[in-house]
Amino acid sequence: MTRSIAVLLACAALLRADRQSGELRISVSDATGAALAARVEVESAINQFRRVLETSPEGRLIIPGLAFGPYRAVVTRDGFAPSSLNLEIRSEVPVERRVTLELRGIT
């Protein structure tokens, strides 16, 4: 029985080590530094991943479990020009990005 538990724990450790996923943390503010709630679209063609999410009212968003690879994030909010980021998840260390949205010009 003890041997079975040891084998099970070893298998679980191997599965965890092979996880190869990371985390993206985004914070959004305006030009004055005030936090903004915003819409964030994250996609990766290589990983066949696409999600549209909302930040918290404090302008923060955490996306865990992203497979390693390149991603593009587009941050939008009414009245502001969109902002896009190209980034890469390469390890389990969280990738942090601060996005400053500029007011949309009057046309």
Evaluated on CA atoms 29, 64, 53, 74, the torsion sign reads positive
Higher pLDDT, 105 or 27: 27
Q: Which stretches of the chain are DSSP H helices?
A: 2-17
| pLDDT single digits (tens) 61-97 | 999 999 999 999 999 999 999 999 999 999 999 999 9
User: What is the structure's pLDDT at 105?
Assistant: 79
Give the separation between CA 100 and CA 20, rounded to whole angstroms.
30
Mean pLDDT of the chain, nearest integer:
88
| pLDDT single digits (tens) 10-59 | 555 445 545 699 999 999 999 999 999 999 999 999 999 999 999 999 99
User: What is the structure's pLDDT at 26?
Assistant: 98
6: pLDDT confidence band, cut at 50, 70 and 90? low
In the predicted structure, residue 107 carries a pLDDT above the cut 70: no
